[in-house]
Amino acid sequence: MKQLIAAILLAAVTVSGCSSDNKSDSQITDSLSFPKTAKNMKNLVSIVEIPTDSFQRAVAFYQSILDLRIEQLDMQGTKMGLFSSEEGSVNVALIHGLDYKPSDRGTLIYLNGGDDLQLILDKVQPNGGKIVMQKTEIDPQNGFFATFIDSEGNKVGLHSFQ
């Protein structure tokens, strides 16, 4: 299945990159028709999986810096650690299995930093992580962000409005 998805994505990139039309970006997006989403779709993202090398080390790291409980499950040989969250919010899970490898490249997820992400960021290094970018203001309307490498080598972001 992964190979099929990769082949489809490669074909789509190749076809769009080979187009000889000189359409502007706005002409292209104006001509696209996007499917209507369900009215109850609160978030575009549904599940985020954070890969681990040492499942227990990752559980300890995230429980400590985020001050939350992580429910641990074993699903057919794959370990999962579900972050506690409110109903209807994005589900975040630590995951440990053969097909999962931590990385500081690729998709970057930003966790909600609460009222002030600095409170979480201050716990990163003492718990085995490394700060990549200190708390930085985006602008007055959009708040602040920071990035760090977690105990497993994943690059993760934080966002808050203060």
pLDDT tens-digit readout, 34-86: 455 555 566 778 899 999 999 999 999 999 999 999 999 999 999 999 999 88
Q: Cα(158)–Cα(114) distance, rounded to whole angstroms?
A: 9
CATH entry 3.40.50.720 includes domain 43-160: no
23 has a pLDDT exceeding 60: no
Domain boundaries, the chain: 43-160
pLDDT tens-digit readout, 89-109: 899 999 999 999 999 999 999
| Tokens (6 digits) for 68 | 């939350």
